[in-house]
Amino acid sequence: VEKGTPGFRVGEKIEVIGIRGSHPNEVILDNVFVPDENRVGDEGIGFKIAMETYDHGRLGVAAQAVGTAQAAFEKSLQYSIQRHAFEKPLISFQAVQFHISEMVTLLQAARLLLYWASYLAMKERPEAVFAASMAKLFATEVAEKIALKAITIHGGMGVATEGMVERFLRDSQVFKTYEGANDIQKLVIMRQMMKHAFGMDIT
């Protein structure tokens, strides 16, 4: 739909808790006429096309989540090396070591799952739908877990807006919600698994 089309307008900006650089807005369509040359695909299959775009969009969300988790991990590792308590760097305390170890393990697992799902999508394999939902579900939940650990490691600075750590947690909440909420991903995973493994439709 071209800008300036009668009946099409951009509504109010939606204020969100995370990924604030995206500037989402309402899109209002009021009796908008779309000419044939502007139509994507054949008439009547718009919903199918929209659902197919989710499979690629979910990989993008998973990639954002992995990047956010990477940033939270790196910031936490650097802070734990530089910050001292009781005349020792934080990294020397076992509790912090446990957090850092869990963070890097979760991060690498999410990254490898994303790579696998992306490979299947590139090869246009039928299980790519299943894999994209798995990558989105796991990577976004990993981003949240790593962000929470980052806040714990940073202590008081972790909840301070100027510390930049709480931003990772806010962003992770958006990742879990858009391109299909994570509970939706669980349904997609289950339905696709039953379809490919047993030929069953459990919708």
Q: Which domains does the chain have, with CATH numbers?
A: 8-38 (no CATH), 56-198 (1.20.140.10)
Q: Which helix (H) or strand (E) holds 10?
A: strand 8-13
pLDDT tens string 11-37: 999 999 998 888 889 999 999 998 989
Q: How far apart are the two ends of the chain, measured CA to CA in Å?
A: 33
According to the model, what pLDDT value does residue 7 have?
A: 95
Residue 128 CB-density burial (10 A; 0-12 exposed, 13-18 middle, 19+ buried): buried
pLDDT tens string 42-63: 888 988 888 888 889 999 999 9
DSSP type of residue 35: -
pLDDT tens string 69-100: 999 999 999 999 999 999 999 999 999 999 99
Q: How far apart are CA 10 and CA 125, in angstroms?
A: 37
According to the model, what pLDDT value does residue 125 have?
A: 94
Catalytic residues, by residue number, are 179
According to the model, what pLDDT value does residue 48 have?
A: 85
Rounded to two decimals, the pTM is 0.90
Residue 164: pLDDT band with limits 50, 70, 90: confident
